[in-house]
Structure 1
Amino acid sequence: MGRYKFETEEHMMFRDSLRKFLQKEAVPHYDTWEKQRIIPIAFWKKLGEMGFLCPQVADEYGGLGLDFSFGVIISEELERVGTSLVGVGLHNDIVVPYIESYGSAEQKKRWLPGCVSADIITGIAMTEPGTGSDLANVQTTAIRDGDHYVVNGQKTFITNGINGNLFVVVVKTDTHVEPKHHGISLLVVEEGTPGFTKGRKLDKVGLHAQDTAELYFEDCRVPVGNLLGEEGKGFGYLMSKLQQERLVVAIAAQIASEDMLETTIRYVKSRQAFGKPVSSFQNTQFKIAGMATKIELGKAFLESLIEDHIAGKAVVTKVSMAKYWLTETAQEISTECMRLHGGYGYMEEYTIARRYRDIPVASIYAGTNEIMKVIIAKNIGL
Structure 2
Amino acid sequence: MRGFSDLSGCGVAGPPDRGARPLIRRLRRHLLPQGEKGRSLAAALGLTLFLAACATAPPHVTPGPTPGPTPAPAPVEQVQPESFADLPGWDAEDHAAAFAAYRAVCGAAHDPAAATVCRRARSTDNLAEPQARAFFEDNFRPERIVGEGVLTAYFAPEYPARKVPDADFSAPVRPRPADLVLGGPAGKDPMRRLADGSLGPYPDRAWIETSGPPDALAWMRPEDLFFLQIQGSGLLTYEDGSRIKALFSATNGRPFVGVANLMRDKGLLAADKISGESIRAWLADHRGDEAQSVMRLNPRYAFFRLAPDDGQPPIGAAGLPLPAGRAVAMDASRHNMGELFYLDATAPILTGAFPTYRRLVTALDVGGAIKGDIRADLYLGQGPAAGTEAGRVRHTLRLHRLVPRP
The TM-score with structure 1 as length reference comes to 0.29
Q: Which of the pair is proportionally richer in helix?
A: 1
Q: Which has the higher contact order (CA 8 A, sep 6+)?
A: 2
The TM-score with structure 2 as length reference comes to 0.27
Q: Which of the pair is proportionally richer in strand?
A: 2
